[in-house]
C-alpha cells in the first residue's frame, strides 16, 4: 500500500510564527542600524567638541602672545574678528549645538590657568562634554627650570646681544651718530639682517620690550616706541634725567631707570600714558657706584652696579609689591663689576668680572635668603646675558660668538 504525504500549505500557526521571527530579526537589524547611526553621530560630535576645545586653547595662546593682560580672570566666550580672538560674553555657540566656555583663574602675577569646556546635546541620557586645561605664562617674563646647580657650556653661536625682541624683529642700542637704535630682521637668530635705524640724538645704552612698546635707555634719557608693527617702531614719548639713563626694566606701567647719579641712582617712572611719562620717585643706593643692569620679575627687582671701592654691595634685591616704592630686601657684596643681571623663574643669572666665576647663578625664590648655587669659569669677562628658552647666551669679552649655557640634565 502506498501512502501519500499531504501537500497542503503552511498552517496559520506556522505563518504567525514565521512573521514573528522575521519581525524580531528586522527589529534587531533596525535597532542595530539605529544604534550605529547614533554612535556615528555621537563620535562625530565628540570629534567636533574636541576640535573646539583645541581651537579655544589656541585662541587663548594667541591672545596671550598679543597681550598677556587680556587674559582676564573669569568665565568667557570667544569671538574671532579679522583673524584676532577676543573674549565675548560668558560663552559662545557653534552650529547651534556646541556651547564653549573659557574659565581663566590666576596662579600668580605671571601665570594663569585656562580651562576650555565644550558641551552639547546628544540623544539618550548622555550629557557629553569635552574639556582641557593649560597654564599660560607671560612669555615676556622669563621662566627657568631644570638643574641650574650644574650648568655647562654646550655650544658657541652668534646671536645679537644687549637686544630686545618682538616677533621676528630685534632692537639694539648703538653709539653710531644718527642711528643709535638699530632694528633687525631676526627671523634667523644666527644671521640677523639690519633692517632700519632710529636717531635718538644720543648714544643708546639699553633696551627692553613690554606689552607692545619698546623702551630705550639713552644718554639723553628714556625713549618710548610703539611697535604694533615690530619692524617700524614709532617714537611716542620720552623723558630726560639729570644724567645718563644706563639701564632699563619694566613692570606693568612702571619703568625703572638706572643712572650714574650718586644721590638717586634708581629712577621710577609712570608710563601709563606713553606720550607723557612722569618720574614719580628715586632711590639712593649705598656707595657711589653706577647702576649697570636692572631686571624685574614678578614682585622683585634686581639691580647690579660697578664694583664699589668701599665695602658696599654690587647686587641689590628689592621688593616691588608696591611698584612705585621699591623696598630693599637684601644685598650681596660681589667684589667685582656685575655687568648684567637676568631674573628668570626662581633664578638670577649674573655676568661678572670675577676671573674664576664670570657666569654665576643664584637662587632667589626668597630674596631674603638668596644664595649662589653654581658658576662657570669663562675665557674672559662676561658682559651680557641673553636668556631664551631656558638657555643663557653669554657675551664674553674678545669673543665674537656667545657661549651657550644650559642647565644640567
pLDDT digits over 25-77, tens only?
A: 655 555 555 455 556 777 888 889 889 998 998 899 888 877 888 999 999 99
> In the structure grid, which three cell numbers stand for residue 220, read together?
639723553
pLDDT (0 to 100) of residue 16: 64
Q: What is the pLDDT of residue 39?
A: 60
Distance CA 169, CA 197 (A): 12
Cell of 130: 569635552
What is the average pLDDT score of the chain?
88
**Strand 402-408, strand 391-396: pairing:** antiparallel
Quick one: pLDDT band at residue 4, thresholds 50, 70, 90? Answer: very low
Domains in the chain, please, with CATH?
A: 15-137 (no CATH), 147-408 (2.130.10.10)
Residue 404 has what pLDDT?
A: 98
Q: What is the mean pLDDT of residues 269-280?
A: 95
323: left (phi over 0), alpha (psi -120 to 50) or beta: alpha
Beta-bridged to residue 132, according to DSSP, are 116
Cα gap 384→396, rounded to integer Å: 8
Q: Is the pLDDT of residue 303 over 70?
A: yes
Per residue in 306-361, pLDDT tens?
998 767 899 999 999 888 999 999 999 999 999 999 999 899 999 999 999 999 99
The pLDDT confidence band at residue 99, using thresholds 50, 70 and 90, is very high
The model's pTM is 0.70
Q: 312 with 332: CB under 8 angstroms?
A: no
Q: Which residue has the higher pLDDT, 184 or 113?
A: 184
Give yes or no for a contact between 351 and 305, defined as CB atoms under 8 angstroms apart: no
**If phi over 0 gives left and psi between -120 and 50 gives alpha, with beta otherwise, what is residue 220?**
alpha
Residues 312 and 42: their CA atoms lie apart, in Å, by 71
**Alpha-helix runs per DSSP H in 334-379:** none
pLDDT at 198: 97
Amino acid at each position: 500500500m502506498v501512502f501519500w504525504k499531504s501537500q497542503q500549505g503552511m498552517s496559520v500557526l506556522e505563518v504567525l510564527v514565521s512573521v514573528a521571527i522575521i519581525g524580531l530579526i528586522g527589529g534587531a537589524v533596525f535597532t542595530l542600524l539605529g544604534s550605529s547611526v547614533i554612535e556615528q553621530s555621537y563620535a562625530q560630535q565628540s570629534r567636533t567638541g574636541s576640535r573646539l576645545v583645541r581651537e579655544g586653547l589656541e585662541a587663548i595662546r594667541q591672545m596671550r602672545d598679543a597681550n598677556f593682560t587680556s587674559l582676564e580672570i573669569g568665565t568667557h566666550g570667544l569671538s574671532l574678528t579679522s583673524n584676532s580672538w577676543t573674549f565675548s560674553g560668558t560663552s559662545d555657540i557653534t552650529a547651534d549645538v556646541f556651547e564653549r566656555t573659557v574659565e581663566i583663574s590666576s596662579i600668580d602675577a605671571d601665570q594663569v590657568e585656562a580651562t576650555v569646556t565644550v558641551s552639547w546635546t546628544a540623544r539618550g541620557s548622555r550629557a557629553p562634554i569635552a574639556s582641557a586645561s593649560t597654564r599660560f605664562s607671560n612669555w615676556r617674563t622669563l621662566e627657568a627650570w631644570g638643574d641650574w646647580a650644574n650648568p655647562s657650556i654646550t655650544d658657541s653661536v652668534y646671536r645679537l646681544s644687549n637686544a630686545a625682541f618682538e616677533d621676528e624683529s630685534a632692537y639694539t642700542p648703538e653709539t653710531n651718530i644718527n642711528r643709535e637704535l638699530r632694528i633687525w630682521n631676526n627671523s634667523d637668530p644666527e644671521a640677523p639682517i639690519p633692517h632700519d635705524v632710529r636717531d635718538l640724538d644720543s648714544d643708546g645704552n639699553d633696551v627692553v620690550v613690554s606689552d607692545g612698546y619698546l623702551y630705550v635707555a639713552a644718554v639723553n634719557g628714556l625713549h618710548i616706541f610703539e611697535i604694533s608693527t615690530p619692524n617700524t617702531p614709532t617714537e611716542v614719548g620720552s623723558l630726560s634725567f639729570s644724567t645718563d639713563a644706563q639701564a632699563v626694566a619694566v613692570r606693568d606701567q612702571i619703568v625703572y631707570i638706572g643712572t650714574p647719579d650718586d644721590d638717586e641712582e634708581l629712577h621710577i617712572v609712570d608710563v601709563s600714558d606713553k606720550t607723557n611719562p612722569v618720574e614719580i620717585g628715586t632711590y639712593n643706593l649705598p656707595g657711589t657706584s653706577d647702576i649697570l643692569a636692572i631686571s624685574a620679575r614678578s614682585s622683585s627687582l634686581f639691580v647690579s652696579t660697578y664694583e664699589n671701592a668701599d665695602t658696599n654691595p654690587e647686587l641689590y634685591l628689592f621688593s616691588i609689591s608696591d611698584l612705585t616704592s621699591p623696598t630693599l630686601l637684601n644685598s650681596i657684596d660681589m667684589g667685582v663689576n656685575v655687568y648684567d643681571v637676568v631674573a628668570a623663574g626662581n633664578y638670577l643669572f649674573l655676568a661678572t668680572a670675577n676671573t674664576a666665576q664670570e657666569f654665576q647663578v643664584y637662587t632667589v625664590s626668597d630674596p631674603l635668603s638668596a644664595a649662589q648655587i653654581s658658576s662657570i669659569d669663562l675665557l674672559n669677562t662676561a658682559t651680557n646675558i641673553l636668556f631664551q628658552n631656558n638657555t643663557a647666551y653669554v657675551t664674553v669679552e674678545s669673543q665674537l660668538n656667545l657661549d651657550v649655557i644650559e642647565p644640567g640634565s
